[in-house]
Amino acid sequence: MRRFGFFVHPLDMRDVVRIAPQSKGKRLPLVEKILEWTPAHEVAYIQGLKCADGEDAEGWFIGIPLLPKQITGLPKEFVLKRLYEGALLAKERGAQILGLGGYTSVIGKGGIELAEMLPELPMTSGNSCTTAAAIDATARAAERIGIDLASAKVAVVGGSGSIGAVCAKVFAANEQAAEITLIARNQIRLEKVANEIHEETGKTVLTNNSVQDGIKDADIIISATSSSGDIIKAEYIKSGALICDVSLPHDVCRDVATKRPDVLVIEGGLMQVPEGVDLNYDFGFDPGIALACMAETMTLCMEGRFETYSIGRGLQLEKVREIYSMAKRQGFSLAGFRSFERLVTDEMIEKVIKAKNTAEVQE
């Protein structure tokens, strides 16, 4: 039997209420304090994983009861101690690899410090599979609404981050964009990524420190940041554009769903788990849907690859391709398009296509 553990944590009060209904109506400061007092604990047991080579696998979701702003805002020593306790719990259950879900992979040099605290337990952030799934979803959605990748203007919000940088490199290497703009606050990091892309592919990319300015002309936007969400506003987006929002909490403001039916927003990094697998936990998704970072952890376990994989602030393009291939071999596949917790319908697609065609005529 192969075994894995995976960290989960609430993204917002909606998550807290879904898991603990008694918290509804409580003041946020009180809820945050209770979460601080709550230790890491097992929240679900996952079974039904049949590996491609015939072996069985099982796993546990380990709850880290902290909101994103607590993980990034509380003293690092406190957060790392909580994560270490969760890692020990996973190890006690027999986990041979641990996935650092959500913001738990942000702390301590992108997970490096936690991995060093417990070197006998391999760890991964899941960012390689998340990147691969986001690229695949973006390409498929672009084809669906009639965006030609080769002539498209692509903007990557969070372009200096591990996921955003690799997404940009893939688009540049595959000649899938006429223009690429990297967007982030740190200009030094942006220029470093831009230089790497030019050296590796010969393509010159643009940089911008403003989300509004950087995406205003973009046909395709990939957003992968560790912000607190709501940084892409309705008025920033070009008519007929496609946005793949990989971030959790999401970077795209929720009012885009009602104010901008002329753009398509999809949630990046969602995978369909193999048939027969029961996650036994309510993530707010349809049954059988998992985050790609979870899929990476499960895949490595099912492959018997008990090794530290996607850890640190950088990703290797070779691993992005490798993990997606392994995931498919183990029965994972890209999930259907979702937008603001709803399945994307043909009607939504048609509205975007119509808006896109109208905008092109006006140009």
CATH number reported for the structural domain that contains residue 194 in this entry: 3.40.50.720
Higher pLDDT pick, 286 / 96: 96
Q: Lowest-pLDDT range, 64-68, 125-129, 257-261?
A: 257-261
pLDDT of residue 345: 87
* pLDDT > 70: percent of the chain: 99
Per the CB < 8 A criterion, the answer to whether 310 and 11 are in contact is no
Q: Are strands 270-272 and 342-343 parallel, antiparallel or unpaired?
A: unpaired
Q: What is the mean pLDDT of residues 135-159?
A: 95
Q: Of 52, 53, 45, 47, nearest to 6 (Cα)?
A: 45
pLDDT band at 57 (very low <50, low <70, confident <90, very high): very high
Q: Lowest-pLDDT range, 20-24, 187-191, 210-214?
A: 20-24
Task: Clarify whether residues 223 and 357 are in a common domain.
Answer: yes
Task: Clarify whether residues 67 and 123 are in a common domain.
Answer: yes
Q: What is the mean pLDDT of residues 37-48?
A: 94
Task: Clarify whether residues 302 and 170 are in a common domain.
Answer: no
Higher pLDDT pick, 153 / 285: 153
Per the CB < 8 A criterion, the answer to whether 218 and 181 are in contact is yes
pTM of the full structure: 0.93
pLDDT band at 361 (very low <50, low <70, confident <90, very high): low
Q: What is the mean pLDDT of residues 273-295?
A: 90
Residue 227 has pLDDT above 90, yes or no: no
Residue 260 has pLDDT above 70, yes or no: yes
Residue 63 has pLDDT above 90, yes or no: yes
Residue 122 has pLDDT above 90, yes or no: yes
Task: Clarify whether residues 139 and 221 are in a common domain.
Answer: yes
As for how many domains the chain has, the answer is 2
Tokens of 120: 């006998």
Task: Clarify whether residues 64 and 212 are in a common domain.
Answer: no
Task: Clarify whether residues 241 and 117 are in a common domain.
Answer: no
**Cα–Cα distance for residue pair 64/66, rounded to 1 Å:** 6
Task: Clarify whether residues 211 and 325 are in a common domain.
Answer: no
User: Over the range 189-216, which residues count as b (16 or more CB within 10 Å of their CB) and which as e?
Assistant: bbeebbebbeeebebebebbeebeebbb
pLDDT of residue 363: 60
Task: Clarify whether residues 342 and 329 are in a common domain.
Answer: no
**Cα–Cα distance for residue pair 285/268, rounded to 1 Å:** 13
Task: Clarify whether residues 230 and 242 are in a common domain.
Answer: yes
Cα 126–329–45 angle (5° rounding)?
55
**SS3 assignment, position 282:** coil
Q: What is the DSSP letter of 50?
A: E
Per the CB < 8 A criterion, the answer to whether 302 and 57 are in contact is yes
pLDDT of residue 355: 80
**Cα–Cα distance for residue pair 92/57, rounded to 1 Å:** 16
Task: Clarify whether residues 135 and 265 are in a common domain.
Answer: yes
User: Over the range 69-78, which residues count as b (16 or more CB within 10 Å of their CB) and which as e?
Assistant: ebbbebeeee
Q: What is the mean pLDDT of residues 13-19?
A: 89
* pLDDT > 90: percent of the chain: 79
Q: What is the mean pLDDT of residues 269-276?
A: 92
Task: Clarify whether residues 72 and 165 are in a common domain.
Answer: no
Residues forming beta bridges with residue 63, ordered by sequence position? 8, 41
pLDDT of residue 314: 84
Per the CB < 8 A criterion, the answer to whether 172 and 203 are in contact is yes
* Tokens 């979701």, residue located: 61
Residue-number span of the structural domain to which 295 is assigned:
2-127+271-333
Q: What is the mean pLDDT of residues 268-288?
A: 89
pLDDT of residue 173: 87
Instruction: Report the interhelical angle of 317-329 vs 162-173 (nearest 10°).
Output: 90
Q: What is the mean pLDDT of residues 192-206?
A: 94
pLDDT band at 300 (very low <50, low <70, confident <90, very high): very high
Residue 244 has pLDDT above 70, yes or no: yes
Q: What is the mean pLDDT of residues 167-194?
A: 93
Radius of gyration of the chain from Cα atoms?
Answer: 20
Per the CB < 8 A criterion, the answer to whether 107 and 9 are in contact is no
pLDDT of residue 229: 74
C-alpha distances (whole Å) from 104 to each of 66, 305, 317, 326 are 9, 21, 22, 24
Phi and psi, residue 334, nearest 5°: -65, 135
pLDDT of residue 357: 81
* Tokens 């209420």, residue located: 17
